[in-house]
Structure 1
């Protein structure tokens, strides 16, 4: 079994881009060539781009030093990814039926976990929880007041489970704040609630 105590976490950047590229697969692009652009561009643009253009778009963002997410590193190899950024970075998310912000939020300081991806061979070992905790720490270090997610209770495949499960988030101190879909609760971690937090490395 993989010893998760050996993990370290680094933000995605120009320097760490090759690690993400290796994790996703240079040609595959994680799930169906998404390259984590699903929430960042309109659906019509996403479909028109194709996976090569999506990859190039994410690469440009990494080069720009914008906050994009956290990589889990084991033996100098990326084994997991958590996309986390300010809500304002996800224009499609802002209009989502299930994940749109609540009226009580300051969108500028609320961050959102939009994607979780774990390398084959490292799945079902609890790595997702470590990624979420590192993402919370990263968001707080960047000035976030809260972190939200919209996990899926009914995930039956990796593509459906890329948002995580409510049970995992709940164990880390996230609480349900809205439910616009029977299987997709909107969950929030507040800065005042530090239960389940782990120290961010890197």
Structure 2
């Protein structure tokens, strides 16, 4: 059965991809770029999951999820850049004043990697942004030039993944992740 990608609006499904196994763990919940820095620092442990649940209940999908049948196998965070920390990030430039969307986290469940799911997730993020009126979508992957990226840092994607999805280089950044420079990749949607 092929993987399907749908808007992420069910808290339990999102939690399978970004929540901790131990509810008292202090993990990201994919909030680090979604919310203001002060709030991100202040939310701890179970408060982070509660905040994501509250966002889900607002009715605004938080990204897209990949499903293999009924099983969640992947996640991509995508939202208007103006609603994220990228709106004021000094290391990631703005190339113009368009109300672009950002995709910043792509995760695939262990046991489902190397099956093209990250490509499906990125395509789903593009479709989601387009369906919601985005004039363009940006990502900020590492430019690893084919070198292996540590799995804990691979969530931003690679330049090749974005190029394969029709994104083009738009700018260099001053952000570095796992020794690799990050680049601003962009795809026009209009």
Shared fold by TM > 0.5? yes
Q: In structure 2, how many angstroms separate the alpha carbons of the residues matched to 1:96 and 1:86?
A: 14
Q: Which runs of 5+ in 2 are unaligned?
A: 175-179
Q: In structure 1, how many angstroms separate the alpha carbons of the residues matched to 2:124 and 2:37?
A: 29
Does residue 184 of structure 2 align to residue 186 of structure 1? yes
CA contact (8 A) 2:26 2:44 kept: no
Residue-by-residue CA offset, 1:32-55 (whole Å, 9 max, x unaligned): 610011012333432331131111
Residue-by-residue CA offset, 1:131-157 (whole Å, 9 max, x unaligned): 000110111111111000000124732
**Aligned counterpart for 1:157 among listed residues 150, 159, 162:** 150
**Aligned counterpart for 1:118 among listed residues 83, 108, 111:** 108
CA contact (8 A) 2:93 2:171 kept: no
Q: Which runs of 5+ in 1 are unaligned?
A: 193-202
Residue-by-residue CA offset, 1:71-124 (whole Å, 9 max, x unaligned): 00102011000111111110x21122332422x2322xx111011111010112
Q: In structure 2, how many angstroms separate the alpha carbons of the residues matched to 1:94 and 1:149?
A: 13
**Aligned counterpart for 2:162 among listed residues 152, 162, 169:** 169
CA contact (8 A) 1:35 1:51 kept: no
Q: Report the CA distance shift for 1:188/1:32 in structure 2 as closer, same or farther (over 3 A).
A: farther
Alignment of 1:20-169 (within 5 A): 20-27=14-21, 33-90=27-84, 92-102=85-95, 104-107=96-99, 110-154=100-144, 156-169=149-162
Calculate the aligned-residue CA RMSD, in Å: 2.1
After the TM superposition, which segments of 4 or more aligned residues of structure 1 sit over 4 Å from their partners? Answer: none
Q: Report the CA distance shift for 1:82/1:169 in structure 2 as closer, same or farther (over 3 A).
A: same
